[in-house]
Structure 1
Amino acid sequence: MASPRPPSPKPLDLELVIVSAKHLKNVNWKNGDLKPYCVFWVDPDRRASSRSDDSGSTRPIWNERFTLPMTFPLQESILALDIFHSKPSEIPKPLVATLRIPLFDLSDPDDLNRIRTFELTRPSGRPQGKIRLKIGIRKRPLPDNYHYAPQASYYYNSAPPPPPPPSSHQTREFRGFSPSPYSTFPPPPSPPPSLPPYTSYHDSYAPFSSPYYYSSSPPPPPPP
């Protein structure tokens, strides 16, 4: 049993416009006109179909656009298209022609406006008829509510700084403050209003003292 193919590493979609065909064989010639429609797929489990052209001509015109998700790598993706005659019965529909296109070999895969003409093949393998298609390969658009996951550095550096050395004072529990191993020293609290001049404020919860708190007027210098 063959192993399943791996999924496509990049989400791609096949944009397909089935324009028209010509010189098809009328497989319904005994009963009437040809009413062809297309069945196509990239993933055999996800097949789609066009409407039938009921004009009774062997030169049908569809002008229908479809988007097919490419579930396999581009190198392994093939567009398969079969044309059948539509008739109201439960028996299998008569096959008119087939087409297989390796998408990796497609020239100008970004040009969806280019009309490409491909030769069709009868079930016997004999070429008969041609079909006109527009084919483009696009990156699958992300949904509107999609958000990129931020990188690890968005939250913290890959190597957080080492914790500060233990203070000479015994650390006491202080409710409302939880030091983070990824931040610098916590800022000192606001000074009390009754601090004496030029007095350093010692914080038993921080490993440094700050001499930057002064009263409204500095004291006079000491006598000589």
Structure 2
Amino acid sequence: MWCESTNPVLSLLVHTKLAVAIYSRESMAAAALNSSRLLQLKTVNNSAQCRSFLSSSTHRSFKLKPIMAALTAAPTVGISETFSRLKKQGKVAFIPYITAGDPDLSTTAEALKVLDSCGSDIIELGVPYSDPLADGPVIQAAATRALARGTNFDKIIEMLKEVVPQLSCPVALFSYYNPILKRGVERFMSTLQDTGIHGFSLSWILQP
């Protein structure tokens, strides 16, 4: 879900042409409460396929996530352009969220394609983390299942390299800081750029 907010950015990571904006969940929740329209789906031709896929899921809830900032070096139409187009049309963005590797990465790959064909404006893909304190019980459970199946950041990236070029909507990655700390900001952001990811959402940075 996208909501415009006038609250200041808490932190900003910048590497070459890539920028990641980090917003507080509290400011986004406040913005969501003030929004008169929370969700608007696009009309698509293959709605039967979408209904079939959604009916097989045991969870049908939307979760408010932080703003996802566009990676400005993305070679295709990205997140900023998507929001600009929707704003001109008087619409809000439909941004479904799924956890990578739940139940496995092959299913995740197919889910990304189905969500794209169902009319998603942007897809947010969560990187499972062993201590997801910023998430609720549903996403925590999804992360636990994904990690139990051996899902890790490198495997997710390899899957995305194959899938992202097949999608018509931008994909944003959601992660905790641990994968960045492990690899370093420069290497991490370079990896995202090479993968074709259009955005990145980072949760819970402690300020000094």
Q: TM-score, normalising length from structure 2?
A: 0.22
Higher relative contact order (CA 8 A, sep 6+): 2
Q: TM-score, normalising length from structure 1?
A: 0.21
Choose 1 or 2 for highest CA Rg: 1
Q: Which has the higher helix share?
A: 2
Q: Which has the higher strand share?
A: 1
